[in-house]
């Protein structure tokens, strides 16, 4: 019979040897966060429509608005929160690492998406979606 410490050490070795250096997105988002981000998403879409801003324009004012709006609650500026919203609520999956099925299923970001400012991506998604909604 194996000791529990041997099992734990084996698991740690597997984890350390595997690719795990990018952010892992949570598999769900709670309803409070979803509602808050939905309202913010809709506000940014409305502003983009009103100002006739497209995804090819300078989005820095909308990014600044997002950051100012969430300055008292920094969790809405984290990669995990924003990418979870984009994938779970908006239904996009382009940000997941497809190098292995395991990384895809477990919600790891690609190297490229891990380097992207999540607030900029949120704003870009909102502005881009104004064309279709």
- 27 CA to centre of own chain: 11
Is the confidence at residue 55, as pLDDT, over 70?
A: yes
Residues 11-34: tens digit of each pLDDT: 444 433 345 578 999 999 999 999
What three-state secondary structure class fits 9?
Answer: helix
Is the confidence at residue 89, as pLDDT, over 70?
A: yes
Averaged over 27-51, what is the pLDDT?
95
> Please, what is the angle between helix 31-51 and helix 60-69, to 10°?
150
What three-state secondary structure class fits 109?
Answer: strand
pLDDT of residue 127: 95
pTM, 2 dp: 0.80
């Amino acid at each position: 019979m194996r000791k529990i410490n041997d099992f734990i050490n084996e698991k740690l070795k597997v984890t350390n040897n595997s690719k795990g250096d990018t952010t892992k997105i949570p598999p769900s988002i709670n309803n409070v966060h979803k509602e808050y981000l939905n309202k913010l998403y809709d506000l940014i879409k409305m502003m983009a429509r009103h100002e006739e801003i497209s995804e090819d324009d300078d989005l820095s004012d909308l990014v600044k608005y997002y950051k100012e709006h969430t300055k008292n609650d920094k969790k809405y500026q984290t990669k995990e929160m924003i990418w979870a919203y984009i994938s779970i609520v908006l239904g996009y999956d382009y940000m997941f690492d497809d190098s292995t099925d395991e990384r895809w299923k477990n919600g790891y970001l690609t190297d490229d998406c891990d380097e992207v400012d999540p607030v900029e991506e949120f704003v870009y998604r909102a502005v881009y979606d104004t064309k279709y909604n």
